[in-house]
Structure 1
């Protein structure tokens, strides 16, 4: 029976990181209560919304992912309301992967207890850096001691699928401090590690300060892009040597601890998102439909039945050539790459044949590896993935 992954967007934070331009911010408890009520309403409308677009919304749920923002800030009763709504509209597998994104030190005992009772079995800690000065420079509220304490506490509670997020390229970061954070991730026994290279968004506080030539938020102490690229490659090697194997451009895991939910995105499996700026992809008879909510909180919180458009972004129907392009560039994000034979079976000979010249050029440039029917990105190709995808999509 086909399943669907569920993403729950919680756009609330205790403090806004200087590099962040996500649809999230600092709000009071009253705003959270209203948001959860709206979220519950949206979950209950899910089947009507899918039917309007001619999409198939599976009844069975095998992954639930709370992201944000900092969803761990929600009170226990709010979590209970969300799960009640989910179980009222879907059949959540007994062995479903249920993930919570959490900032160290921002998960109350009562909320953790409620989530464990609901089946929580995976936590992703937004560490970004294990070096206190680097974390503080971008507005993170935790310290190394808090991170270590949080990991110990979660394991004691039975959460063994415990991951950390790290960012290469933070203000004040150096080669040695980056190595320290990677070593801590390994040394703490993290089951999963996500490694992102900082992209300074011009709309974030850090981005605006950097463009203006200022020094606030550490804008005057950003590492060079070349150094960040080297640190990323070093992290790939160090994590792999420690048994935390890369399986996607930014994601590494010990055996058996890949994020089942995130793998859905790269394999183009069905997922549905609820909440501010949440994205969805559902199957149709002749392709897929992608749709999302808007990123303005007031628009999302508006009264009445949520419209198909308005507070939501217009849906995009992906068929034919566009579906093929998606399968190629999303599949290439994973280390296992894509199977040309599989692409031929799904999309036909013609579209795959058009890739041949581009793939030969990319192999010669050292950006893509190719053996038989399997194609994958090399280490250098992952660094230049946008350029690779652009070349592949032009050929397709």
Structure 2
């Protein structure tokens, strides 16, 4: 599950042609390059969703014509061509592509294939490149999956969320229990090398037994990757309004911790190993290499409305609305809404925030003196692994993973 928040930060203006500072491209050949392609369309809006997505009814009115699904692949390909101009003679081929949403599989498989083809034509794909697409279980069938595989996609992520009907109802998910498991089999039959199932825990009304049943159903389906995220109730969502009105209860942090421990128990027993706080894989090859780009501060270009990018310490984000996005590209302008240039201290702090969540953790020499002292306390409190600490790294124990946000706050001082 690749997050695409609906709110954009403030920042300095992006040049009309998207030009990056020279220092952002210095040494680029030594860094991996990935692409994130955002498809902002959904058939319905899930009650918990705060991502930058739109249903057909939300795109009616001014600007709607430019935001059409029918033209979207061609519009996004224009941004890929813009990326080629901005990165100039950058020699890198693309190592990972992740198509997220929204619901990418609302578009015809051929459209997703054309978006991928634009990257292949402008940059080339590295040997063994990971190419992922997200899918709702009720938006694909065997023939569609076969067309995706033929287009070059080799990894797929299904939004399962839960195996219990009443939990899916609270989340406003439209697929039926059992359909995600069937999708895994269909994806394998179509030739997908890697398959992920996304799960959510802590939904109002979910019990420990419900959560355990969801995990067991996911494992039984035979994916090689599972992501499990605690439900975050975002302001402005339909679920937040229901909780505020007292229609459904709020789940507390203790319940989230219990559910996380159940996830670790079930997944580890089934041969999945954690490599990031919310992600488990059956092998190193099954890990999501695209997300590893994010977590390790590599370079990626995010194409699509509201998409975020990062190249060489420069981060920028596109305008949110599909109509405004299409208009900018049609007029030959960058769709960038704002950007920030990260200083050395910003990058150091961000490295701690992201890498501490990984199995290997973060090097101790990245910590400031106050952070190093906090790491010593975290080690004594059983939050960091002694063997990793002895190798000069701050890496979380299971208990540390439960308290990851608090540990990070201490170590960034």
TM-score of the superposed pair, with normalisation by structure 2? 0.84
Q: Is the 8 A contact 2:36 2:97 kept in 1?
A: yes
**Equivalent residues in 2 for 1:344-363, closer than 5 Å:** 352-363=368-379
Q: In structure 2, what is the Cα distance between the partners aligned to 1:90 and 1:83?
A: 11
CA RMSD of aligned residues (A): 2.2
1:103 and 2:136 correspond: yes
Q: 2-side partners of 1:183 and 1:282: how far apart?
A: 40
2:393 to 339, 361, 374: 374
TM-score for both structures, normalised by structure 1: 0.87
What CA deviation, in whole Å up to 9, does each residue of 1:62-120 have, x standing for no partner?
A: 11111111111111331232123212211112421111111102125554333212221
Shift of 1:58: 5.1
Task: State the distance in 2 between where 1:117 and 1:272 align.
Answer: 24
Q: How many residues align?
A: 371
Higher-RCO chain (CA-CA 8 Å, sequence separation at least 6): 2
SS in 1 for 2:234: coil
Q: Which residue of 2 aligns with 1:348?
A: none
Describe the shift of the 1:313–1:366 C-alpha distance in structure 2 as closer, same or farther (beyond 3 A).
farther
The CA deviation string for residues 139-188 of structure 1, in whole angstroms up to 9 with x for no partner, is: 11111232222122111111141110010111321010101011112222
SS in 1 for 2:172: coil
C-alpha contact 1:173 1:222 (8 A) present in aligned 2:
no
Q: Which has the higher strand share?
A: 1
Counterpart in 2 of 1:234? Answer: 262
Q: Does 1:243 align with 2:271?
A: yes
2:77 matched to 1:40? yes
Paired with 2:36 and 2:264, the residues of 1 have a C-alpha distance of 28
Q: What are the residue-to-residue correspondences of 1:294-373 with 2, within 5 Å?
A: 294-303=319-328, 304-305=330-331, 307-308=333-334, 311-340=335-364, 343=366, 352-370=368-386, 371-372=389-390, 373=392
Q: CA deviation at 1:327?
A: 1.6
1:347 matched residue in structure 2: none
Q: Give me the whole-angstrom Cα distance separating, in 2, the residues matched to 1:174 and 1:251.
A: 21
Confirm or deny: 8 A CA contact 1:72 1:107 kept in the other structure: yes
Other structure's SS at 2:405 match? helix
- Cα separation, 2, equivalents of 1:70 and 1:58: 32
Please state how far the C-alpha of 1:35 moved relative to its aligned partner.
2.6
Paired residues of 1:277 and 1:295 also in contact (CA < 8 A): yes
Instruction: Give 1:253's match in structure 2, choosing from 281, 286, 296.
Output: 281
SS in 2 for 1:148: helix
Of residues 143-152 and 361-370 in structure 1, the stretch that sits farther from structure 2 once superposed is: 361-370
Distance 1:26 1:98, change over 3 A: same
Q: Which runs of 5+ in 2 are unaligned?
A: 1-28, 60-64
Contact kept in structure 2, 1:42 and 1:306, CA below 8 Å? no
Query: Alpha carbons of 1:58 and 1:278: their partners in 2 closer, same or farther (altered >3 Å)?
Result: farther
